[in-house]
Each structure stands twice: as structure tokens, then as C-alpha cells.
Structure 1
Amino acid sequence: MNAVARPDLLPRRRVLLDMAIGLASLGLAGCGFALRKAPTFAFQTIRLQGNEGTAVARELREALQANGLQVLTSAAAQPTQPTQPAQVVLTVVTDQRERAVVGQTAAGQVRELQLRTRFVFRLRAANEKTLIDDTELLLERDISFTETAVLSKDAEEAMLYRDMQGDIVQQVLRRLAAVKSL
């Protein structure tokens, strides 16, 4: 008799399961989740100055241009470019890469390295009003090291530096987008 009663319960369970899934999806839709959109800026022209020849500064310039901003560089970097007023000036104070030994064997051989990328910048309006004070972004990555795989570890190190560089550019873009008025 139990075997006969169970088929009657299956459609009811299915309906209850469908209702539970529907309610859960409604709850997720109402939580405010949304995909990240392209940043919007309170300015249309920006001047880069300072350490603008570094890899992070070059990638930052490309990302700003890709987001629709007109990017000007200092006259020292591009002497043929006419001097134009920019709405804001982004000064790259520091852009450096560091490599430190953090682990050694008893024989003094390097076993672990720490890679760091340090980026310090500030943002000022054309009227010298400080919009973003000196801000330091420091990213660190650990990497194991072995003498038998030096070439592959060099490639891994370069990849980690490129990854940190992209992370810094995205963080700077988000901070620039947070400026709502000049």
C-alpha cells in the first residue's frame, strides 16, 4: 500500500520544490546584485604627469582612453603636443616594483620571494583643489623559487607583475570614478 501512495506524493513534492526555487530566485533578484558597469567620471579631460613612462602609467592611460576620457600628458613627455588645459591632473608620485627574499633554506638558498608593486598618486582639479590626496596602492604576491626552473619562474614573475599592474589600474579607475564633483 505504501508503494501506491508514493506516486501520488511525487507531483505534490515537485510543485513544492518548484515554488521553493521560485521564491529563492525572487529573493536573489531583490538583493541588489548587479554586474559591474563601466565607470563614469565627473570630468572629460585628464592630464597625466609624474612617472608617466612606467608600465602601470601606460596601462592607466590606455584604460582612461578606453573609458572615453581625453588623456593629456606632460609637455616633457610629448613636446609636440600643444599645451591644453585639463579639468583634472593625475600625478603619479611613485610607481615601483620590488622583489624581496622571504624564505631560505638552511644552506642560504632562496626558496620564496615576495613581489611588490607600489603605486602612489594624487588627483587635483585645474584650480589646484585636491580631489584625491596622496594614495598608496601596494600589492604583494608570493612566489616559490627553485634554481632548476629559473626560466619558468621568471615567466611566472612577469605574469604576476602584469596581474598586479592590471589590479592597480582597476583600483585607480574606481577611485577616479568615485569623484563626483570638481
Structure 2
Amino acid sequence: MKRRTLLAAATLSPLLGGCGFALRRPQPLPFERLALVGFAPRSPVAEAIKRTLPESVTVVDAPQQAQVVLEALRERRERGVVASTSFGQVRDLQLRVRFGYRLSTRAGKPLLPPTELLLFRDMSYSENIALAKELEQDELYRDMESDIAQQVLRRLQAVRES
């Protein structure tokens, strides 16, 4: 049975290549130089965006050298209590990351209006394992910042200068 499956896979794989099947590739960005402006010095969202950008795009320091400028208007991590016990101990938390930005040309012509992204995750909490929950919280924040970077990248891919 295993040999038949292997033989069928070996027979069908050249046929898939011949029919034009190819894995989906990301859309290329319509620019080659990007400036990140308004971010905090060690901004986790800026670092996630830099990691997400394809190799064909260079992040430059000065907006005058860039074709487009991504300006951070707001970047904030928030945390709120969702549920607590009858004794006032926290049971569930909600973690949020807010990121507001706009995209323009180096001359200041808007390509994307001011946009705000808000992601949130719920997390259970226990005082008994506070250190582990703090590590989980950091991981959830990193995950949300990575998701924001992916969303920004998809919106950058859709930008067309008119």
C-alpha cells in the first residue's frame, strides 16, 4: 500500500508542474525604498514590519531618500481586566495592541489615509503562576505585533500611486 502511494505521487508530480500549478507568491510592493517615521526608538511594530518586508525593499533613514513614507501615528500596548473572582482576584485579562499609521509619498501626497489597527487577545491569569503568565503575555504581544506587520504589508501591496 505504501509503495502504491509513493508511485502515484511520483507519477502525478510532473503533471502538476506541467499544468501551470505553482505556489502562491506574495504580491510585489510598488516601491523599492521605504522610510519609517514616528516610531519609538526600539519599536516592536517597526521591527516586525522590517522583518516582514521582502528583500527587494530597502528601509532608509531619511524620508527624502524614500519613495514612500510610513508614519506611525499611534503605537500602544494595553491591558484590561475582563473577569475577576468574588474576592477581587484577576481571572482573565484582555491584551490589546493599537497601531495607527498613514502612508504618503516623500512629497507628502497621501497614499493611504490615517488608519488604525486594533488587535486583542484574551488570556487567563493566575497569581500562582504569575511569571509564566508574564512570559505568555509577552509572547501574545509579539504575535499581535507580527499580525499587524502582516496586515500593513498587505495594505502596502495594494497601494497604487495615481
TM over 0.5: yes
Corresponding residue of 1:173: 153
> Structure 1: which amino acid aligns with 2:49?
L
> Structure 1: which amino acid aligns with 2:61?
T
1:129 to 109, 120, 124: 109
- CA RMSD for the aligned pairs? 2.3
Question: Cα 1:163–1:36, aligned 2, differ >3 Å: closer, same or farther?
Answer: farther
Corresponding residue of 2:32: 44
Question: Which secondary structure does the structure 2 equivalent of 1:124 belong to?
Answer: strand
2:52 to 63, 81, 86: 63
1:93 to 63, 68, 73: 73
Corresponding residue of 1:112: 92
> Structure 2: which amino acid aligns with 1:38?
P
| TM-score using structure 2 length | 0.80
Answer yes or no: is the 8 Å Cα contact 1:93–1:120 preserved in 2. Answer: yes
Q: Which blocks of at least 5 consecutive residues in structure 2 are unaligned?
A: 1-20
| TM-score using structure 1 length | 0.72
Aligned-residue offset at 1:68: 1.5
> Structure 2: which amino acid aligns with 1:114?
Q
Aligned-residue offset at 1:140: 0.3
Number of equivalences? 144
Does residue 145 in structure 1 map to residue 125 in structure 2? yes
Q: How does 1:28-43 map to 2 (within 5 A)?
A: 35-43=23-31
Aligned-residue offset at 1:72: 1.2
Partner deviation per Cα, 1:111-135 (whole Å, 9 max, x = no partner): 0000000011100012321100111
> Structure 2: which amino acid aligns with 1:59?
A
Answer yes or no: is the 8 Å Cα contact 1:41–1:176 preserved in 2. Answer: yes
Q: Which blocks of at least 5 consecutive residues in structure 1 are unaligned?
A: 1-32, 75-82
> Structure 2: which amino acid aligns with 1:113?
L
In the aligned structure 1, how far is the partner of 2:50 from the partner of 2:40? 9
In the aligned structure 2, how far is the partner of 1:150 from the partner of 1:104? 15
Question: Cα 1:141–1:34, aligned 2, differ >3 Å: closer, same or farther?
Answer: farther
> Structure 2: which amino acid aligns with 1:144?
S
Corresponding residue of 2:135: 155
